């Protein structure tokens, strides 16, 4: 409950500033949402739980409710993946194009690297659990669906790179180097 009060106050502070430009508003909302989501990622909330909680915040955003909901609906999965890969909210929002001048190429490159890191962590867990390659591939397809707008990129990366990632991990390659070895980071 105290988080909700803090969030309401933060949104009211954002809304009360009269010198905020349109682009800056999206940037500030993106960073605000990313910070808010980060708290729930650290609490190991599911993507569904996070989505419900963040949409409640958007409702109290007044005239900015639609902009807030657009960010949540379009980018929540990507924001979560990036946060799980220890990206800062400012870096995330720059990569997604809400802040600064990031190019589409940079966003796609950063996103593919983030998705590779996400898949790598999932694959490591599945290997540890003793799953077969076929079971891992099936599980990864389900994991990709949680990334919403990035799910199609994730699914194509699973098809193209997951068998290679699995093999590299089974060969005891350093997990920190796997995504670099396959030229995604």
Condensed to tens digits (0 to 9), the pLDDT of residues 44-89 reads 888 888 888 888 777 666 566 777 777 788 888 889 888 888 888 8
pLDDT tens, residue by residue, 6-56: 443 344 344 333 223 334 467 777 887 888 888 888 888 888 888 888 887
Q: Are 102 and 94 in contact (CB under 8 A)?
A: yes
Q: What is the pLDDT of residue 130?
A: 95
Is the domain 2-95 a CATH 3.65.10.10 member?
Answer: no
* Per-domain boundaries in the chain: 2-95, 104-181
Q: Are 15 and 62 in contact (CB under 8 A)?
A: yes
Q: How far apart are CA 110 and CA 91, in angstroms?
A: 10
Q: Which residues have C-beta within 8 Å of that of residue 77, sequence separation ≥ 6? A: 47, 146, 147, 148, 149, 150, 151
Other CB atoms within 10 Å distance of the CB of residue 121:
15
Q: Which CATH superfamily is domain 104-181 in?
A: Saposin-like (1.10.225.10)
Tell me, yes or no, if the two domains 2-95 and 104-181 fold the same way: yes
- The H-assigned helical ranges of the chain are 2-16, 22-42, 47-59, 65-84, 89-95, 104-128, 133-145, 151-170, 175-181
Question: Is residue 179's pLDDT more than 80?
Answer: yes
Q: Please state, in angstroms and as integers, the Cα–Cα distance from residue 54 to each residue in 66, 75, 143, following that order.
A: 13, 12, 21
């Amino acid at each position: 409950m105290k988080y909700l009060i803090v969030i309401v106050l933060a949104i009211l502070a954002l809304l009360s500033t009269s010198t905020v430009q349109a682009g800056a508003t999206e940037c500030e909302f993106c960073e605000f949402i990313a910070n808010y989501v980060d708290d729930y990622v650290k609490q190991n909330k599911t993507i569904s739980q996070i989505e419900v909680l963040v949409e409640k915040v958007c409702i109290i955003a007044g005239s900015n409710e639609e902009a807030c909901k657009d960010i949540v609906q379009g980018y929540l999965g990507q924001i979560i993946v990036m946060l799980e890969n220890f990206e800062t909210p400012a870096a995330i929002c720059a990569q997604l194009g809400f802040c600064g001048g990031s190019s589409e190429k940079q966003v796609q490159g950063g996103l593919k690297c983030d998705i590779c890191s996400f898949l790598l962590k999932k694959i490591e867990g599945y290997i540890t659990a003793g799953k077969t390659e076929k079971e891992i591939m099936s599980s990864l397809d389900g994991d990709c669906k949680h990334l919403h707008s990035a799910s199609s990129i994730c699914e194509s990366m699973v098809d193209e790179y997951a068998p290679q990632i699995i093999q590299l991990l089974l060969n005891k390659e350093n997990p920190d180097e796997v995504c670099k070895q396959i030229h995604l980071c």
